[in-house]
Structure 1
């Protein structure tokens, strides 16, 4: 009887996975990665997992002279470069930076074919690495004296769609007036589906249009 129940449960799990899996759950991406002009060669490629752009952690950061250590007991990856230190736990959306309290991103780290992948915003939010995205090419500038990217956040009070851009009007509270307008373009990476009322975070360039409310471009948008 126990054997029959076990077989039934196993079949149910397999069937459920089959029903809810879709071609969008895991798919390779055409994005190429460079570090200061030099391309990165991967054994596990950058890919979209459940709609989120995930990048290989070790291969990308070793190109930037980070030391990567696998902690098998905690199932965690520790990374360091000079005074910079961070720690990520596989399967947990909880990221540690220096001695700060842990915070969340759009996804937990995921292992694919023995490699740890993290969401693209990790490189800014955790390591404060500057990068640019253009024509499906992501270029990191870890050692140059450049302006850092910035993170904006707020509740989406209104969404305006135009021909080549989508405007996200943000407020500090759902009842407050709009304090910032984020412009999303074809280059913007959406890690989540965004709707009015959502609390979102955007990775943006340091330049902002001096208007009221302020306006800037969204490089990455997630919640």
Structure 2
């Protein structure tokens, strides 16, 4: 009987959007789930991570559906010399042989004496210059990504930081080492060419550990399972499965939720796929979670290989990490970050 009630509740949820009203004792309205960050959503603040280091500057904002980022904070982190011309309301950037210029209010970016248009002009706000996020990619030739929790990653190249490899994902296991360090297992998405979706990393006093929200340094004692992280590591790895190596830098973000269970229903929602997971496979709706699979969701096999989201079927056994935003409905709804498909 309890499972039948749970399935009825789930059907109501899956037939609507992620912001639909969920059936509960007093039918409370569910909070909306967003697949891309919005600076108006619960006061969410964007986090800029440049070459693996989070910036103190949190002044990213939206302008006509464009993310605007602080020019000086970005370029000084990349060791550009920044020169402001008050009379012309223009900025010059220089680093070695590289030279760029731009003028407030003009969608004409001077790149080595050639003009590039981005569809959005630089803006002056509170005495500071802001440019669209596409400036980093199309002018500075950086690699940019934005995830659903507001983390904006800007990397210099595919070999993101001094030829280090990078994996963005979740810590699935933490073990103490005799040397006072820790051994981590990170599963997610490799964001460099030779990176790994599943990687075992040792961290010690030589590993730089940073809080991605506050930019403050952390220690190995702060590392916990189910944390969302960006892991940077040396290409010197063992040939084991998963490969093992040393973490040069760990950037820590939110603690994620975790559910282990069986997929009982899959429905198409607005812009994503809704997957109902029977937590602990116990037929108790209070342990279930409805997960939104979107472009940012990583689906992996148990050995860390990428799996097409469409391969997830009813009756599959999964371990799913989700959040940090979650509705107050029954069962709760959230965006899936990393999903490990245990079914072969």
Q: What's the TM-score once normalised by structure 2's chain length?
A: 0.34
Take 1:64 and 1:29, find their aligned partners in 2: how far apart are those partners?
26
Tell me, what secondary structure is at the counterpart of 2:137? helix
Alignment partner of 1:132 is 2:121: no
Change (3 A) 1:39 1:118: same
Q: 1:121 aligns with which of 112, 120, 134?
A: 134
Take 2:153 and 2:75, find their aligned partners in 1: how far apart are those partners?
13
Of 29-38 and 123-132, more deviation after overlay is shown by: 29-38
CA displacement at 1:103 relative to structure 2 = 2.4
For the pair shown, which has the larger CA radius of gyration, 1 or 2? Answer: 2
Q: Give per-residue Cα distances to partners, 1:137-182, cap 9 Å, x unaligned.
A: 112222763579xxxxxxxxxxxx97429xxxxxxxxxxxxxxxxx
Take 1:32 and 1:123, find their aligned partners in 2: how far apart are those partners?
15
CA displacement at 1:29 relative to structure 2 = 5.7
1:29-68 matched pairs, under 5 angstroms: 30-42=45-57, 45-68=59-82
Q: Give per-residue Cα distances to partners, 1:34-72, cap 9 Å, x unaligned.
A: 122221112x71001232210000011111111110022
Q: What's the TM-score once normalised by structure 1's chain length?
A: 0.51
Change (3 A) 1:95 1:41: same
Tell me, what secondary structure is at the counterpart of 1:79? strand
Aligned residue number for residue 120 of structure 2: 107
The size of the alignment, in residue pairs, is 129
Q: 2:272 aligns with which of 164, 168, 182?
A: 164
The alignment's C-alpha RMSD in Å is 2.8
Q: Give per-residue Cα distances to partners, 1:79-130, cap 9 Å, x unaligned.
A: 1112211111011111110122x12112110011010000000111111012
Alignment partner of 1:80 is 2:94: yes
Gaps of 5+ in 2: 1-38, 161-191, 194-268, 274-293, 297-344
Contact 1:29 1:46 in 2 (8 A): no
Contact 2:143 2:157 in 1 (8 A): no
Contact 2:108 2:116 in 1 (8 A): yes
Gaps of 5+ in 1: 1-25, 149-160, 166-184, 188-223
- Relative contact order higher in (CA < 8 Å, ≥ 6 apart): 2
Change (3 A) 1:163 1:143: closer
1:82-101 matched pairs, under 5 angstroms: 82-100=96-114
CA displacement at 1:133 relative to structure 2 = 2.5
